[in-house]
Amino acid sequence: MRIAIASDHAAIALKADLAAWLAGEGHEVADLGPQDDAPADYPDFGYRLAEQVASGRSERGVALCGSGVGVSIAVNRHPACRCALVSEPVSAALSREHNDANVIALGARLVELETAKACIAAFLATAFAGGRHGPRVEKLGAPPFSLDRR
């Protein structure tokens, strides 16, 4: 699977570990940065990840920051992305099964490496159930209000 991964400076070490693990699992990994621990703004990298997934260049995304909250908000600004902030594998699997999430967010200050791996593994292994969830997911990409801010 083609997986994009991005973080801010608070999650740089976790990003490196997860990128290496994903590549070792046979995935094609696009590391969208940053490459060092200099201060980096999570919205910049969240938007970059969202565009990568929305364009189809990557099938799934892994978004990381200190808490996971900020980067998940940034990714979810793109109407084609459904980013789920999770901290354990059951939520990760349900985000795929019920919400067809295409990005997972994790907080580097809140989740240990092995838990992050378990969350990502559950996320990648779970298919969207469709059925009654389909119409609900369609509504997520087409909100009933204008996104035009002019």
Catalytic residues: 65, 98
Q: How many CB atoms lie within 10 A of CB 89?
A: 18
Structure tokens at 95: 């985000």
Q: How far apart are CA 75 and CA 116, in angstroms?
A: 18
How many residues in total does the chain contain? 150
Q: How far apart are CA 104 and CA 82, in angstroms?
A: 8
Q: How far apart are CA 142 and CA 27, in angstroms?
A: 31
